Amino acid sequence: MEDMKKVGNSSCNDVLLRMGLNDNKAGMQGLDKEKINKIIMEATKGSRFYENEVKKDQQVNQRIEKMMQLKEKITTQQLLKAQLQVDKLVIELEQSRNLSNTIVHIDMDAFYAAVEMRDNPELKEKPIAVGSMSMLSTSNYHARRFGVRAAMPGFIAKKLCPHLTIVPLNFEKYSKVSKEVREILTEYDPNFMPMGLDEAYLNITEHLEERLNWPEDKRRFFFNSESTTEKDKEDINMSAKFNEDGYSSSPVLFEDNTPLMDDHPERDQSVENLIIFGTSAEEVVKEIRFRIEQKTQLTASAGIAPNTMLAKMCSDRNKPNGQCRIAPERHAVLDFLKDLPIRKVPGIGKVTEKMLKALGIVTCSELYQQRALLSLLFSEASWRNFLDISLGLGSTHLEKDGERKSMSTERTFSEINTAEDQYSLCRELCRDLAQELLKEGLKGKTVTLKLKNVNFEVKTRASTVLSAVSTEEEIFAVAKDLLGTEIDSVAPQPLRIRLMGVRVSGFLSEEERKYQQKSIMSFLKSGKETGFLRLQPGKSNQEYFTKNSEASSRGSFFDKKRAARQLNSESRSPNETVGEQVFHDRKSSANLVEETKKVTDLENSNVHKIFTCPVCFEEQRNNNLEELNRHIDDCLNGTLVKDTVEISKNDNLRENTINFFPKFKNENVDECQKTKKDHLAGTDQCASTSDNSSSNSTEKFTQIISDKLHRERQPSNLSDIARNVCMKQCLFPKRSSQGNEDYFEKTERREETSSSCLFEAKEDSVLVCPVCNSEQKTTSLVSFNRHVDVCLNRGLIQELTEKKDFPTQTYHMENSNRVGGLSRGQQCTNPSQGTKRSGLTTSQSVSKKAKSSNSKHTIEMFFK
């Protein structure tokens, strides 16, 4: 969607800036900027929405503050060194600059509004917007003069422009028009890339070559006089502007007074309604726009450039109904960028704009000038993106969209605050989502619940299960648990929400889909050797395939927590049926038919009667699974309990908590420490070196689970946790052991973490909470358990997220990844550079080593 981005002026309120609303190209009939802002403020101030915007804005300001503090500490030395390194990269990038492609970006003007106006002539000459009272999708140019624009709620737009006509969305219509446009585009590039309904990228490089050999009649078109307005014909006679810097701007379709070179169209005055287009890129794009208008009566703007990023920015230059080209020459590219505000760059949004502005960067050339500083303040991905931008580099080919990564559905509504309604809404969303998933035959392993409370605060909660889900019941089984947790987290207050969404991601790959069936079978069959199975015939198997439930099958803490919670929600809910219904769902409704069948098969077969217990490694000749299960249960409880230390005996919950990492006692630490020194990220090695330690059986246990159960890379709750604990213990403290400790960070976070490095000072090990994943400096398991307990209750998590640290990111000057910047250049690994862009983060730390060692060599090189 054509979008109005502007560099707001710094003055009054940042919040309006945040909302992107204080822009104004006020014309005579419209309002001026001040009035617009005033009206918006009046309508918005004091609202919950506004309060949240203020909060978000403050967060951004804090980020900026941190960044500025970081900037303060940067020394000249560091900057010089960074400059050298970045400039080395610049040379590489320059060398890989590829100007040989001709990329076109087509952007329909005020698309939805234009369609509506076309279909209802009464709307022409009136300010209109498309959308609803709560949200507008777009507005026509008349309405924009009043400050009415996309992403603005209709009721505010009405205050700005009382005569505004709001037309409801009609997607089917837009899709139809869009399809018509695409039919044209595909003739010029069969692989063109649509971006939404109203935009598309084309690579017309090939078309241009072929076109040279075309007979003229293939470039000849007739006006359809009925669909061509007088104004269009007038436009034909206007001239193009040619800019000696190498890019041309023409706000009109056809240029007439250009010299009659081979390249230019013949506008035959004698034959009315005939037009012949030339063979240049400009002519091709004019032809495309001409044909679009002829076919749909809608105008489009276009940009022509050597890559997608430039093409996109180009199409913005002369809208509406104009086009612009950046010649395939370096100087033309750089000249285009020279004074271009960074906000115009796709991928630079409000936040990035504001952060860069704090550094005095507003235009792309300033972005280039500050490249060294940026490389010290931002994450690698971010500053390299900035560098690409300031050099005018982007994707030179259009890559097909990869496979989809997630599917979701969400809904906004007036406040819902009863658990009952929330659960049923959740189910409804799951139902819708399941339907969509079915259409594409997708199954995913991660379910994410999204909630927005009435204060507009957004939360997401995710859970990954072992077996991919796709049906309403399967998804809901996971989602409702997440929802329940959230309901409980605010209890006894009601959860007051205005939006709920459900997403499924972690789709099975093609391979996985193929082997899904097989591998479950092979897993079951492999029971011969190591039958790690715990199945209770006749009951729902779903529990064995969900993360939480895996633990629950051992009577875990998680399960009890959940049971308790469900009891809670039953007792809390005035309507008893809610809790009950949910409970019922979990037990039976989400039955996985396929698996059930296999289990039955397994049970009935005589082949798999010998199992090796994964805990004690003794062969078990049980005649039925129940017996085997009982054995494993006992075995687990027995071994684990025996191995644990300081268990609070009278507290079952804690006892079970500690059962997750009983094997990691202090004896292992030393060994792991040694291992750590030998290799950097030796997670696996570390794990294997502990084989001969006392964690023998646990390690094998996790191995077995990983190998057998997760041949398809399905994560195992248990093994993951166990590994995690081991890894963290072995590698801790991560940073200081690598000699790349953070220079700036050492004052703050360093101390905090190093104080938790207990096993160096004392013999205690560091335990990692399996819930929040953070290291716990604890000398007693009891207190550790308490932490886990609290954590599970979400209290801690919340606390953590609230006083969330400034993001840390270490930029290693030494091994500077730009050595790997090799292949990136033009055929960059990011296929859609210019269309999709990374978010940004500031890098909190600069290598200390870099600071101390960069002096001599660097300076010499610098002055060389």
Q: Is 478 helix (H, G, I), strand (E, B) or coil?
A: helix
- Using CB under 7 A as the binding rule, the residues of this chain from 43 to 62 that contact DNA are 43-44, 47, 49-50, 56, 59-60
> Is position 484 an interface residue for DNA (rule: CB under 7 A)?
no
Which residue of 83, 96, 408, 612 would you call a contact of DNA, by CB under 7 A?
408
DSSP string, 740-787: --BTGGGGTHHHHHHTT-HHHHSSPPPEE-TTT--EE--S-HHHHHHH
Decide whether 534 or 723 has the Cβ nearer to DNA: 723
Decide whether 75 or 798 has the Cβ nearer to DNA: 798
Report the alpha-carbon distance of residue 680 to residue 678 in Å, rounded. 7
Decide whether 279 or 453 has the Cβ nearer to DNA: 453
Q: Which stretch binds DNA (CB under 7 A): 30-38, 87-95, 360-368, 403-411?
A: 403-411
| Residues β-bridged to residue 463 | 447
Decide whether 281 or 377 has the Cβ nearer to DNA: 377
484: nearest Cα among 573, 589, 592, 574: 573
> Is position 459 an interface residue for DNA (rule: CB under 7 A)?
yes
- Using CB under 7 A as the binding rule, the residues of this chain from 721 to 750 that contact DNA are 749
Which x/- pattern, by CB under 7 A, does the window 486-525 give for DNA?
------------xx-x-x-xx-------------------
Q: Which stretch binds DNA (CB under 7 A): 462-470, 606-614, 626-634, 653-661?
A: 462-470
Q: Which stretch binds DNA (CB under 7 A): 657-665, 674-682, 683-691, 838-846?
A: 838-846
> Is position 409 an interface residue for DNA (rule: CB under 7 A)?
yes
- Give min distance, CB of 562 to DNA, in A: 15
> Is position 464 an interface residue for DNA (rule: CB under 7 A)?
yes
The distance of Cα 413 from the centroid of its chain, to the nearest Å, equals 24
- Give min distance, CB of 138 to DNA, in A: 9
Report the alpha-carbon distance of residue 542 to residue 483 in Å, rounded. 18
> Is position 348 an interface residue for DNA (rule: CB under 7 A)?
yes
**How many residues belong to the site for DNA (CB under 7 A)?**
92
| Residues β-bridged to residue 775 | 768
Q: How far is CA 445 from CA 470, 503, 511, 790, in A?
A: 9, 10, 15, 27
- Using CB under 7 A as the binding rule, the residues of this chain from 137 to 176 that contact DNA are 137, 151-153, 155-156
- Using CB under 7 A as the binding rule, the residues of this chain from 281 to 340 that contact DNA are 312
Q: Which stretch binds DNA (CB under 7 A): 90-98, 287-295, 341-349, 817-825?
A: 341-349
- Using CB under 7 A as the binding rule, the residues of this chain from 813 to 832 that contact DNA are 830
In the numeric block, the tokens 């969509």 are attached to 436
Q: Which H or E run includes 166?
A: strand 165-167
Edge-to-edge strand list for the sheet holding 247-250: 193-194, 199-203, 103-108, 300-305, 323-326, 247-250, 241-242
Q: Which H or E run includes 190?
A: none
Contacts with 187 (C-beta within 8 Å, 6 or more apart), sequence order: none
Q: Which stretch binds DNA (CB under 7 A): 120-128, 132-140, 264-272, 694-702?
A: 132-140
Which residue of 410, 580, 646, 707 would you call a contact of DNA, by CB under 7 A?
410
> Is position 839 an interface residue for DNA (rule: CB under 7 A)?
yes
- Give min distance, CB of 482 to DNA, in A: 7
DSSP 176: H
Which residue of 836, 857, 861, 862 would you call a contact of DNA, by CB under 7 A?
836
Q: Which stretch binds DNA (CB under 7 A): 67-75, 195-203, 265-273, 528-536?
A: 195-203
Contact 498, 803 (CB under 8 A): no
Report the alpha-carbon distance of residue 441 to residue 471 in Å, rounded. 11
- Using CB under 7 A as the binding rule, the residues of this chain from 543 to 562 that contact DNA are 547
Report the alpha-carbon distance of residue 457 to residue 493 in Å, rounded. 16
Q: Which stretch binds DNA (CB under 7 A): 183-191, 243-251, 405-413, 593-601?
A: 405-413
- Using CB under 7 A as the binding rule, the residues of this chain from 789 to 808 that contact DNA are 797, 800-801, 804-805, 807-808
Report the alpha-carbon distance of residue 826 to residue 393 in Å, rounded. 7
- Using CB under 7 A as the binding rule, the residues of this chain from 234 to 253 that contact DNA are none
The two counts, helices (H) then strands (E), for the chain are 38, 22
- Exposure string of 600-635, with b = 16+ CB inside 10 Å and e = fewer, is eebeeeeebeebbbbbbeeebebeebeebbebbeeb
Which residue of 9, 29, 100, 460 would you call a contact of DNA, by CB under 7 A?
460
| Residues β-bridged to residue 352 | none
- Give min distance, CB of 411 to DNA, in A: 5
- Using CB under 7 A as the binding rule, the residues of this chain from 13 to 32 that contact DNA are 19
